[in-house]
Structure 1
Amino acid sequence: MADIPQLRAVNVTRYVTPLREGGSLPAIAEADDSFNYVLKFRGAGHGTKALIAELIGGEIARALGLPVPELVFADLDEAFGRTEADEEIQDLLQASRGLNLAMHYLSGAINFDPVVTTVEAKMASQIVWLDAYITNVDRTFRNTNMLIWHRELWLIDHGASLYFHHSFDDPEGHARSPFALIKDHVLLPQASLLEEVDTEYKALLTQEKIRAIVNLLPDTWLQWEGLDQTPEQVRDVYFQFLTTRLNNSQTFVNQAQNARQALI
């Protein structure tokens, strides 16, 4: 299992091309370390909450040993994007000044196709468990959010996870609830080892590791309009949600097993 890293920080130097997927308009961008990244903008869609879900979901996956591209903090200078000709993109860039999130661009990767590629039961169970744990609604046949790169499966895009934070009310109740949308998971039919994975993953995800991941969240992402909690208090809400959900994992594991039985 990989150690929990501190995220590197890069400065975005060049906007390469938009990736027009959904309403968030991520983009391929070059940074001052000469690497290309898929850049997620704080000024798009659900704002910093999507970046929070991306960071927490991606780093939990990494802590569990699952293959995810490196995540980095990506800084957009105030002057960046002023010469962009597309008005919509220029507005997005201007609204995203400051700290954003990016993942390494896997050049040459292709979208995972469940008809072409069979995922073995252990990995399928690991991915289904992860998505039920972080309430990821976006790993379906319609949008698998997985890539094949150098003949290996990689997980991307966890920005639709942790959807409790869009209302931010009753996180305790959400943490203890099943995850009915797991029935639509693209890998559910192959996920026959959920009990085994549950035991392994509960041992791996210690409170210290969860706290270390939550502590990566920068203050500037945790200052939402209408919120009277401090950034540290918001981090505590995420920590409590994740630890409570882990302690009650049998609830979402049972839900996934029942949904799988209905399919096979």
Structure 2
Amino acid sequence: MHPLPTLNLKDKVSPEEWKIRVDLAACYQLVAHFGWDDLIYTHLSARVPGTNHYLVNAFGLTFEEVTASNLVKVDLDGNIIDESPFTINPAGFTIHSCIHEVRKDAHCVIHLHTNETIAVATQKDGLLPYSQYSMFSLSSLSYHGYEGLAVNDDERKRLQDDLGTNNHMLLVNHGGLTVGPTVGDAFMRMYDLQRACEIQLMIQSANQPSQLVEQSIQDNIYKQANVVHSGSTGGQLAWPAMLRKAYKINPDFAQ
């Protein structure tokens, strides 16, 4: 077994970059904790404040092994900025780079391959208004059809167009994706999308008559959510608690 290189960038980057590194590394820990990871695959990325550079996980590391210092800084083309003993998965960064390119508000992008998001994304009717969790996603949800591994440049434009101004996307046969102005917002959106998909599959598996949320309530839920969450996803309300949870799970992520 080869030990991972030990890095410490805390005093070698700006305080703003270090904060986003800690937040993103914490998010990797939380995704692993909730069982949403996929071996060494899938990615969470975040923009370094004030730059066109992005942080993403090193290829070959599990999510539990991601730390604030071993996140890799890249540009939109996936070129590594600054020296790093690690590489990235260029194919994995394709989806992230094309979204960061056009969504300047999407400072964090989360793309996961959970069983539940794949299953619901692949259903003909997609996500249905079965639960309160689905309400938070349906008001800003789009779909992208499966084209194979996302490595072709011509798919980038279709990904961008399909996401549009939405903050949630289900990738048919593939998984789920959320974006947000902060790591906390993108995480909260993924949490809601994941729970919505889990509940939908549970209801369907019961093979009992079910009741959808009425359209009038669906139309009003976004306004209600804005009141409850102070005009945001609630991510900034929940994130401090989630950060504390990450420290309890594995405090080494903040190194």
TM-score normalised according to structure 1 size: 0.27
TM-score normalised according to structure 2 size: 0.28
Structure having the higher strand fraction is: 1
